[in-house]
Amino acid sequence: MTTSIEEYMVTEVVSFAPDDDIIQAMRVLLEGHLSGGPVLDSDGKMVGVLSQKDCLEIVYNTAYHQDWGGQVGQYMSRQVEHIDADSSILDAAEKFLHSSFRRFPVLREGRLVGQISRHDIMRALDEIYLRNGR
DSSP codes, the chain: ---BGGGTSB-----B-TTSBHHHHHHHHHHTT-SEEEEE-TTSBEEEEEEHHHHHHHHHHHHHH-----BHHHHSBS----EETT-BHHHHHHHHHT-S-SEEEEEETTEEEEEEEHHHHHHHHHHHHHHTT-
Q: Express each pLDDT in 90-110 by its tens digit.
A: 999 999 999 988 889 999 998
Q: What is the pLDDT of residue 134?
A: 67
**Would you give per-residue pLDDT tens digits along the chain (134 residues)?**
568 899 999 999 999 999 999 999 999 999 999 989 999 999 989 999 999 989 988 877 777 766 678 899 999 999 889 999 999 999 999 999 999 888 899 999 989 999 999 999 999 988 887 777 76
* Domains defined for the chain, CATH in brackets: 5-131 (3.10.580.10)
